[in-house]
């Protein structure tokens, strides 16, 4: 990571970070035990650890979604791809296939799904919402087809470890996901990929005229997003030790889009903030946990989420921005 980007990102993630921190502080005031982390039988436990673990799966999907949204697109099919990947895992493990091969297949099938989306969007020029809607609808059916409509229980303890295991007392899944975030960050920022993605999202015509391979770049981000969803499907299946093709990944596309937008990447494309997405995903999970701690039934939790997203999109809207700047100017004069 280079210095200029660090500074810029730091400025831009200040908002979501402030939101996350104030939520944590609020919780800590309400319940001092909230931030407490204990070491039990060599494993860390506590609400913050739970938040990390719980958000890992959505966070991974949001990683791919960040890049897709940065090109000015969106991928609605990720939830269905999660279900497909989970189904593939269950069937292959039941069949006695090696764990590594299983995971590779799940990720590969996710990438294939992403590639199809990319083909529709980049080569055939289909609107992203429309193109990914196809797989969103059909994908869950395919997942159910793979597992024959059953919920297949997975018995492999090695497989379960991926989601629920601990390494040196730290839960493995969030560590894996955060490592992927760091790796992705380095790959896109150390190569020119990040620049290309932002360029395409900011002004596609100008990017094409400057000689960028726009279609290839777009296909690539959808492919990556599919692969992330595939791996997330592995985590989901490992977490519940089963492939539930009906519920796995349900509403995940929405949570992922939320995390990206709350994290400061605009839905219109252009600049993206990988770090912002991490914070966005954590913020949403913390909000859910807070609701839970306050005794609000989990089913009502979408309400604050909805208010948050409206607030964030209003803050990002140009009209409100101009109005706020106007207020500040008046204030400065007065």
Partner 1 sequence: MIGALTRRTSWIRRNLSLVVTAAIFVLLFGLASQFYDGFFSTPVFVSLLSDNAFLGIAAVGMTLVIFSGGIDLSVGAVIGFTSILIATLIQEHHLSPVLAWLVGMLAGTGLGTSMGLLIHCFRLPPFLITLAGMFLARGLGFWISTDSVGIAHEFYGRISAYEITLGSMVLPASALMLLAVLAAGYVIAHHTRFGRTLLAVGGNEQSALLMGLPLGGAKIAVYALNGFCAALAGIVATLYTGSGNPGMGIGLELDAIAIVVIGGTLLTGGRGHMLGTLLGILIFATIQAAILFDGRLSSWWMRIVVGSLLLVFILLQRMLLRPR
Partner 2 sequence: MSAQALLELRGIGKQFPGVRALDAVDFKVSAGEIHALLGENGAGKSTLIKVLTGVHKADEGTIRLDGRFISPRTPKDAEHEGISTVYQEVNLVPSLSVAENITLGRQPGALGFLNWRAIRRRAQVALARLDVTCDVDAELGSLSIAMQQMVAIARALDTKARLLVLDEPTASLDEREVAELFTVMRRLRNDGLAIIFGTHFLDQVYAVTDRLTVLRNGRLVGEFATAELTRLELVGKMLGREVSASDLASGIGSSPRQEKLIVLDAKQLGRRGVIAPLDLSVGAGEIVGLGGLLGSGRTETARVLFGIDAADTGSVTVRGSPAKIRSPRDAVAHGLAFCSEDRKAEGILPNLSVRENLVLALQGKRGAIRPLTRAEAEQLCVQFIRALRIKTADAEAPIKTLSGGNQQKVLLARWLATQPTVIILDEPTRGIDIGAKQEIEQLIARLRDEGMAVIFISSEIEEVVRNCSRVLVLLERKPAGEVADTELTTERLMQLMAGGGEK
Q: Which residues form the interface with partner 1 (CB under 8 A)?
A: 74, 120, 124-127, 129-131, 133-145, 148-149, 245, 254, 257-258, 261, 267-268, 297, 299-307, 309-310, 313-314, 317-320
For the chain, list the strands marked E by DSSP: 37-40, 43-46, 152-153, 166-167, 170-171, 242-243
Shortest distance, position 23 Cβ to partner 1, whole Å: 18
Shortest distance, position 129 Cβ to partner 1, whole Å: 7
Q: Which span (62-70, 153-161, 203-211, 273-281) binds partner 2, by CB under 8 A?
A: 203-211
CA torsion angle for 7, 313, 302, 280 (degrees, to 10)? -10
For the chain, counts of helices (H) and of strands (E): 15, 6
The position carrying tokens 């040196």 is 168
Q: How far is CA 288 from the centre of its chain?
A: 16
Residues in a beta bridge with 243:
152
122 binds partner 2 (CB under 8 A): no
28 binds partner 2 (CB under 8 A): no
Shortest distance, position 210 Cβ to partner 2, whole Å: 5
Report the distance separating Cα 273 and Cα 287, nearest Å. Answer: 21
Residue 119 interacting partner from partner 2, partner 1, none (CB closer than 5 to 8 Å by kind): none
Handedness of CA 58, 60, 63, 69 (dihedral sign): negative
* Contact indicator for 188, 67 with CB cutoff of 8 Å: yes
Q: Which span (105-113, 170-178, 195-203, 224-232) binds partner 2, by CB under 8 A?
A: 195-203
Shortest distance, position 117 Cβ to partner 1, whole Å: 12
Contacts of 237 (CB under 8 A, 6+ apart): 85, 86, 89, 90, 154, 159, 163, 243, 248
206 binds partner 2 (CB under 8 A): yes
43 binds partner 2 (CB under 8 A): no
Shortest distance, position 150 Cβ to partner 1, whole Å: 10
Residue 321 interacting partner from partner 2, partner 1, none (CB closer than 5 to 8 Å by kind): none
Shortest distance, position 131 Cβ to partner 1, whole Å: 7
Shortest distance, position 190 Cβ to partner 2, whole Å: 7
133 binds partner 2 (CB under 8 A): no
CB burial of residue 203 (10 Å; 0-12, 13-18, 19+):
middle
Q: How far is CA 63 from the centre of its chain?
A: 5
Report the distance separating Cα 24 and Cα 10, nearest Å. Answer: 19
User: Among the residues of 263-301, which ranges form H helices?
Assistant: 274-293
203 binds partner 2 (CB under 8 A): yes
Residue 317 interacting partner from partner 1, partner 2, none (CB closer than 5 to 8 Å by kind): partner 1
Q: Which span (14-22, 91-99, 126-134, 211-219) binds partner 2, by CB under 8 A?
A: 211-219
Structure tokens at 182: 């760091």
φ, ψ for residue 96 (rounded to 5)?
Answer: 85, 20
191 binds partner 2 (CB under 8 A): yes
125 binds partner 2 (CB under 8 A): no
Q: Would you tell me which residues interact with partner 2 (CB under 8 A)?
A: 2-4, 8, 190-193, 195-196, 198-199, 202-203, 205-213, 270-271
């Amino acid at each position: 990571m280079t210095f200029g980007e660090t500074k810029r990102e730091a400025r831009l993630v200040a908002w979501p970070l402030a939101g996350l921190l104030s939520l944590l502080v609020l919780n800590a005031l309400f319940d001092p035990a909230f931030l407490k982390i204990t070491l039990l039988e060599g494993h860390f436990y506590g609400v913050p650890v739970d938040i990390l673990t719980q958000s890992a799966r959505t966070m991974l999907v949001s990683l791919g979604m960040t890049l897709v949204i940065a090109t000015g697109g969106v991928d609605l099919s990720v939830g269905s791809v999660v279900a497909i990947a989970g189904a593939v895992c269950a069937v292959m493990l039941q069949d006695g296939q090696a764990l590594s091969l299983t995971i590779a297949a799940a990720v590969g099938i996710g990438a294939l799904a992403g590639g199809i989306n990319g083909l529709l969007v980049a080569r055939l020029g289909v609107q992203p919402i429309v193109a990914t809607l196809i797989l969103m609808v059909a994908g869950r059916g395919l997942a159910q087809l793979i597992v024959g409509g059953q919920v297949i229980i997975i018995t492999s303890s090695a497989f379960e470890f991926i989601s629920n295991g601990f390494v040196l007392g730290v839960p493995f899944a969030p560590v894996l996901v955060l490592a992927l975030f760091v790796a992705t960050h380095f790959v896109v920022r150390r190569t020119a990929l990040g620049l290309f993605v932002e360029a395409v999202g900011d002004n596609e015509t100008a990017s094409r005229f400057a000689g960028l391979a726009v279609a290839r770049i777009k296909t690539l981000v959808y492919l990556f997003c599919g692969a992330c969803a595939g791996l997330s499907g592995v985590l989901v299946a490992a977490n519940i030790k089963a492939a539930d093709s009906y519920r796995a990944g349900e509403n995940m596309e929405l949570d992922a889009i939320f995390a990206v937008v709350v994290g400061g990447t605009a839905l219109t494309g252009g600049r993206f903030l990988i770090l912002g997405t991490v914070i966005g995903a954590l913020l949403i999970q913390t909000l859910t946990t807070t609701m839970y701690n306050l005794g609000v039934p989990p089913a009502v939790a979408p309400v604050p989420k909805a208010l948050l997203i409206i607030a964030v999109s209003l803050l990002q809207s140009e009209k409100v921005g101009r109005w706020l700047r106007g207020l500040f100017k008046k204030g400065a004069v007065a």
